[in-house]
Amino acid sequence: MTTTKSPTATQAATRDAVRKQLQGKGPSVGASAFKFLLIAMLSTSIAILVVLLSDLLVSAWPTFRDRGFGFVTSGLSLNPETAGVWTGILGSLAIALTVILLAVPIGIGAAIYLEEYAPDNNLTRWIDTTVRNLAGVPSIVFGLLGLAIFVVVVNTIGLGGSTGGKNVIAAGITMAALVLPIVIITSAEAIRAVPHTIREAGYGVGATKWEVIRSHVVPSALPGILTGTVLTLARAIGETAPLLVIGVATGYFGASADATFFEKLTGPYTALPVIVFSWSRQTDPAFADTLAPAAIIVLLVVLFTLNAVAIYFRNRFEKKW
Amino acid sequence: MATTSPTIDLSGNPNRRRRERFFKNLFFAAGFLSIVISIAIIFSLAEEAWSFIKGLIDEGELSSLWNVGWFPRRGLYDIRTIVVGTLIIAFIGILVALPLGLGAAIYLAEYANPRARRMLKPIIEILAGIPSVVLGFWALTFISPEIVQRIWESAGVFSMMAAGIGVGVLIVPLVASVSEDAMRAVPLSLRQASYGLGANRATTTLRVVLPASISGIMASIILAFSRGIGETMIVFMAAGAVGGSLFTVNPLDPGQTMTAAIASLAIGTDQVAGEGLAFQSLFFVGLLLFFLTLFLNWASSRVVRRFRETY
């Protein structure tokens, strides 16, 4: 009995010993701890976002429960019962429109020059470095640029109105200058991703450079350009600091009912993020504690919608070469 | 006898050539505009900054640049106060963002499977899309009372600590995405060589991937620091509208940064009336800020070039 069992026992012992040798020392405690630490860091980042959003939603909820959509469609007021964000939405829209009209065409044009035309010389390298540096300049410095130059220019060409140039036109130009480098960088990336064969196909049938750009390069790069542009708009809408420097209205103001479009355009203005800022500074807790978070939720809804549009463009039109 | 070989004009339709030239010049002008904007920034800042310095010299008050505190409307322009405040807040921001951002980046680049990555990465990107005015509000209404004042009871409602943590939350996505890109650029063959020698994933990450991508990670930290220095709204809202202008190195005190000093002067919340050189001092601080961030961004690209491993 024992003689038949003994070889199997020895075999099992040998098998275990060999397996142990092959497997090393088993799962390392240090490696598991490292992985756990990484997961903890990632979870903390995500938890911050969840706490941030839920905290704001809870504070904002009473406003939306009591006022519904009326909070979005009513204008500035000194009375917390009737104050809304509509004035800010209009201001942010006007700024976004200026950015679309100025920064987007100029930015795409500059990207086309850098990627398609620019010779490899010092001037090109200078432009390239400048664009990259401008993208890293703090936004408040663009506010100082706007205060020193754009406000004065707007006033000089007769668009100053009652604010002496500190109006939404100057704000739009300042924002356009602020986001221009971002438009250039994202558009240049999209244009660079278009393969050379696409261009050569155009040249092959006798097209000139501009014709190739218009009919081949830009259409092929359009999804990337559009994605970048929409994200740029989100940036311009969320930015506050430069507006404070160039004289956005941080208090209550009202336009008289018979003001012309020109008077409204050149008069005092505010923007969605500026409303968040000025309400959060009010001593009246109705403004600081419930209306400011509600304005934040409106701002975040606008920004998330823009981001969703960008993701849609990227997924819907993205080309794999 | 004259050679009468037929000459063929190969230069093409002159209208077409004119159009080509027109568009080339148009695009060049668009590209050149960036240089114009940069020059405009430097000139508009330098002009007023110079008249500020000159005004101080004329009044014989040059020492007010490093005395007492930052009260521009009373003629006290202590640059130390706002530079030290700026550095403290940006440093706290890095202390918060470095472990969170780098940990998230390592997990996403080295541990997460593709499906988890597709789900987790957009969440970090959402955090990147939160505007700074929202984080400023949250730093004041949540981080300050719920975190800072609970841990340090001596802290007031406004503190550089709350603002610094808020800045940290702002730059987590920046550290995470730049570092992750750097780690994903490390070729797979290096990892496989490490596994082939019997190393586990943690050892491979710490001894192979991190050293190979250190240039990108360092660049992300410098960029994040530069971003923290240039951040306005969080600091302006959470670090102190009250009493933030006296020199202090205690992060639990209210503080003033270069950006917040510009913003509060511009909208007139620095309490004290009066004029003097206050308007010009705005541009002086702006010029300092411009060159400081320019230097940091230059340093980050230098680091990438200097320490980059090429495969």
| Distance of alpha carbon A244 from alpha carbon A225, whole angstroms | 30
A210 in reach of chain B (CB within 8 A): yes
> What is the rounded distance in angstroms from the CA atom of residue A259 to the CA atom of residue A193?
49
Task: Specify the range with the lowest mean pLDDT, choosing from A252-261, A306-315, B88-97, B205-214.
Answer: A252-261
Task: Chain B: give the shortest CA distance to residue A102, in Å.
Answer: 11
What is the DSSP code string of A205-236? TT--HHHHIIIIIHHHHHHHHHHHHHHHHHHH
pLDDT at B187: 92
Is the predicted pLDDT of residue B2 greater than 90, yes or no? Answer: no
Q: In this predicted model, which residue has the larger pLDDT, B180 or B63? A: B180
ipTM above 0.95, yes or no: no
Q: Do B41 and A42 touch (CB under 8 A)?
A: no
Average pLDDT over residues B55-79: 75
- A69-86 pLDDT, tens digit per residue, is 778 887 787 777 778 888
Q: Which range is most confident: A61-65, A157-161, B77-81, B174-178?
A: B174-178
Specify the pLDDT at position B134.
Answer: 95
pLDDT given at position B5: 64
pLDDT at A296: 94
Measured distance between the N- and C-terminal CA atoms of chain A, rounded to whole angstroms: 72
Instruction: Tell me the pLDDT tens digit for each residue of A5-35.
Output: 566 778 888 888 877 776 666 667 888 899 9
Locate the chain B residue with the closest alpha carbon to A150: B40
Question: Is the separation of the CB atoms in B170 and B93 below 8 Å?
Answer: yes
Q: What is the mean pLDDT of residues B262-269?
A: 79
Span A146-160, pLDDT tens digits? 998 998 899 888 887
The answer to whether A57 faces chain B, any CB pair under 8 Å, is no
* pLDDT tens, position by position, B227-254: 999 999 999 898 875 555 677 777 887 8
pLDDT at A1: 45
Residues of chain A numbered 252-281 and touching chain B (CB < 8 Å): 273, 276-277, 280-281
Q: Which residues of B touch A299 (CB under 8 A)?
A: 131, 134
Lowest mean pLDDT among A2-11, A171-180, A214-223: A2-11
Q: pTM for this one?
A: 0.87
* Percent of residues in chain B assigned helix, strand, coil, to nearest 5: 75, 0, 25
The answer to whether the CB of B171 falls within 8 A of the CB of B227 is: yes
pLDDT digits (tens, 9 = 90+) for A52-67: 999 999 998 888 888 8
pLDDT of the residue at B104? 95
Rounded CA-CA distance A109/B29 in Å is 9
CB-nearest partner of A106 from B30, B120, B134: B30
Task: Of A97-106, A186-195, A270-279, B12-21, give the lowest mean pLDDT range.
Answer: B12-21
